[in-house]
Amino acid sequence: MSLPAAGPETKAWFIAWLEGFSAHVRAVDYASARPLFHPEILAFGTHKDVLPSLEAWVNAQWDNVWPRTEDFRFTIPETHVLVSDDRSMAVVVAPWTSTGFHPDGSAFDRPGRATIVFHKSAGVWIGVHSHLSLNRGVPQTSHGTRPVKAR
């Protein structure tokens, strides 16, 4: 039995979604990223174990990462998209890269991986769970100082 991999059209939609989300991260544009997720999303992140809402995720994770890093991108060739048989749930598994900054301003590679769970309701996919984490051995803290474009 093989994994329930998404077909080419569905996978292309999620790849475009990942590209759009990563563009919002690079722009530090919370306002544009918020509609991609359910307001009651359950998220895991570096700074908290379980974040029980989009607001909690923004305040505890996005605020501690997006303005302090640069160049966030998903590694598209290594991305997997799984879809339930009834096409109501999907899971995206993707590595990502970014640039972090030491206290002295010097840059370091900041790779990680993501799992994002989507639910489809009324024909629209929306993120209901996210877990982005750094690879082992990568510094947990970055010291960049970019402004938030829009909350």
pTM of the entire structure?
A: 0.95
Domain count, the chain: 1
The per-residue pLDDT for 49 is: 79
Q: 121-134 pLDDT, tens per residue?
A: 999 999 999 999 99
Question: Is the residue at 144 inside a domain?
Answer: no
Share of the chain above pLDDT 90, in %: 93
Q: Specify the CATH number for the domain of residue 40.
A: 3.10.450.50
The per-residue pLDDT for 44 is: 86
The per-residue pLDDT for 48 is: 67
Domain that holds residue 110: 8-134
Please determine, for residue 23, whether its predicted confidence score (pLDDT) is greater than 70.
Answer: yes
The per-residue pLDDT for 1 is: 86
**Angle of CA points 60, 62, 63, to nearest 5°:** 70
